[in-house]
Amino acid sequence: MSADDVPALHLSPLPKAWFIDVDGVIVRHNGHLGPEGDSLLPGVREFWARIPDDDTIIVVSARKEHERAATLAALERWGLRHSAALFGLPPGERVLINDTKPSGLITAHAVAVPRDAGLGGVSFTIDPTL
């Protein structure tokens, strides 16, 4: 899959919860283990800036708990707000399960981006008619 194959999200104007992985999505995968440290991936700042202020952003990571403070400090330096952070997660799949609203609004979306491609290829629109 290339960054061009990532589907666009068509979202309602309701406040949302965003679950965004750290390594390979926000920063170069395992960059924190190298001499240069974490480096922000392309399109991340721009993507973050489009997330409405009343949305909740939860960053998730398999990084160990002792890496939390340094990782969150880097996000803050880059101006990437978050509401919560989950560290020490298993390295396998992340599964999101939610109900569909009676109106038919689909309330669970998943986007898998190619590792280290950043978020420049991920687009979303807020549709006030949903």
Give, in degrees to the nearest 5, the angle at Cα 105 between 104 and 106.
110
User: Average pLDDT, whole number, for the chain?
Assistant: 93
Q: For residue range 32-89, what is the model confidence (pLDDT) as tens digits?
A: 888 888 999 999 999 999 999 999 999 999 999 999 999 999 999 999 999 999 999 9
Confidence of residue 4 (pLDDT cuts 50, 70, 90): low
Is residue 20 left, alpha or beta, with left meaning phi > 0 and alpha meaning psi from -120 to 50? beta
Residue 31 has pLDDT above 60, yes or no: yes
Determine if the pTM surpasses 0.85.
Answer: yes
